[in-house]
Amino acid sequence: MRYSDDEPETVHEGKFLNYCRTESGWEYVTRSNAKGCIAVLAVTDDKRVVLVEQYRPPVGKSVIELPAGLAGDIPLQEDEPLLSAAKRELKEETGYEAKNWKTLGVTPSSAGLTDEMNTIFYATGLTRMTEGGGVGGEDITVHFVNQFDVPKWCEDRRREGKLVDFKIFAALYLARGAEQSTQSRLWY
């Protein structure tokens, strides 16, 4: 059954999230302070994937993730393009800037919970500009993992009690497909 004409009612407005309910009873959240989300698969010239780790209060654990963030969440920059947000977040979180950027895809983050969409970018030609680690109280640890070792490395982090964001594997899969269109063999 499709409810495309089902108008949502805002049940609660928070500082960053609105809690909504449709006429048919579906409940979900929507961001009130951003126009989109981005994630970046950044790969160094020596084929290391740049991952970040930070504590996430909703799950009560450290999470291994792609560098990521919001577009349009900075006052007076509400119309920030997604690519600009991706470049900003990569530098803030990891200290790197990238020469080459490609959009890998757009996907819902959790279609049953939120209307939030993630745009996944692929960044190469990296140059270290700062130490990274985040801004405004963020406490981000940067990890460099050989692209061939990502699955095992992530499984080792799970065994340590950390969580691993599935977007890492989705981005690797999408990048492999993008690379196969220009190469005859897999790159990881």
Q: What is the DSSP string of 42-70?
A: EE-TTSEEEEEEEEETTTTEEEEE-SEEE
Task: Assess whether 73 and 162 both reside in one domain.
Answer: yes
Task: Assess whether 105 and 77 both reside in one domain.
Answer: yes
Q: Please list the residues that pair with 38 across neighbouring strands.
A: 69, 119
**CATH number where 78 lies:** 3.90.79.10
Task: Assess whether 85 and 126 both reside in one domain.
Answer: yes
Band of residue 181 on the pLDDT scale cut at 50, 70, 90: low
Indicate the length of the chain as a whole number. 188
- Evaluate if residue 186 carries a pLDDT over 50: no
**What percent of the chain shows pLDDT beyond 70?**
93
Q: Is residue 186 in some structural domain?
A: no
Query: What is the predicted pLDDT for the residue at 1?
Result: 41
Where in the sequence is the domain holding 54, given as residue range(s)? 35-180
Task: Assess whether 9 and 90 both reside in one domain.
Answer: no
**The model's pTM:** 0.88
The domain tally of the chain equals: 2
